[in-house]
Amino acid sequence: MSHAKPDRSRVEKYSAMVAPFLGADTRRSVVQLLTSLLPFVLFWYLAYQALNVGYWLTVLLAVPAAGFLMRMFMIQHDCGHGSFFRSRKARDWVGFCIGVLTLIPYQYWRKTHAYHHAHSGDLDFRGFGDIGTLTLEEFLALPPLRRLAYRVYRHPLVLFGIGPLFHFVVKHRYPWDIPRDWKQAWRSVWLTNLCLVAIVSGMVWLIGWRPFVLVHLPVLAVTTSAGVWLFYVQHQFEDTYWHRHEDWDYFDAALEGSSYLVLPRPLQWITANIGIHHVHHLNARIPNYKLQECMEAYPEFQRVTRIGIRDSWRLTRLALWDGEANELISFREARTRA
């Protein structure tokens, strides 16, 4: 199947619009790295010390620690897109080191995430880097047990609770669904695992396995759940964009299939502007710290689907793409359209 080619005039138009915002600013990158890593270490240490006071305080302090760990993932994310440092060696080194902390092998994630960007909203190229989404027609054609499995997978407790921990803690140690010839990705997986064994062993030797688990488990639980929630609401909303390949357009997928997640300023800061997702999908080489400036520069970038925190619970009921109505629908709605 041939790849859909975007309209050349649109390529030139959007390339010119985003051009002033491309490229890394080394000073801003270094500051962002330090204001993410150092607070994470501080809050993790405070959470550990809080075990002497009460576990409730440890869990409480694990929340900001998780926030800064998620912020570091956003830096890893920009490194993977080539937008955080000018030096590729610096990007790859920082991205790999953060990947050990986030449990996300850097080269493996970079390759699957690039696939997501290249095919977001394309029904004929689902599979890597997406939250699994079936069409209504596909779901109705499944046998009962596979329908049940999909319903379980899309349940909020699995999607934002059990699933994220399993995905990041277990599956990323051995991502069985990627091709064997992705040699660089597999090297990244094994090297990340080796570093994790060394770090976890060192921490267990230093403070003991029980304190380590008591502190880091809630940090991981909050980070992984929040990360999946962010990714979900940025692509899974009623009037999102899904088309078959022959009708798919890269720019429409970016501006119509990615939301603008409107967050309070502190949350927008801790998530490194990832909520301005439509601009990020338009051109992933815009550093996260320039996304706000780019969006504010053009009214066109402000006339997109806006999602607020209060909208997120409503969106969790969505599960199936109705191609005839061009909208995501719930399982309940699917019963009336079968």
In a domain, 11, yes or no: no
Is position 7 within any domain? no
Question: What is the number of residues in the chain?
Answer: 338
**pTM of this structure:** 0.92
> By residue range, what is the domain housing residue 84?
19-337
- Classify residue 187: in a domain, yes or no: yes
pLDDT of residue 129: 77
- What digits encode the pLDDT tens for the residues 40-92? 999 999 999 999 999 999 999 999 999 999 999 999 999 999 999 999 999 99
Tokens of 64: 């900001």
**Domain contains 13:** no
pLDDT tens-digit readout, 209-223: 999 999 999 999 999
Structural domain count of the chain: 1
Q: How large is the average pLDDT for residues 308-332? A: 92
Q: Is residue 267 part of a domain?
A: yes
Query: Would 255 be classed as within a structural domain?
Result: yes
258 domain-assigned: yes
- Whose tokens are 């199947």? That residue is 1
**With bands split at pLDDT 50, 70 and 90, how would you rate the model's confidence at 338?**
confident
The whole-angstrom separation of Cα 74 and Cα 101 is 12
Residue 3 lies in a domain: no
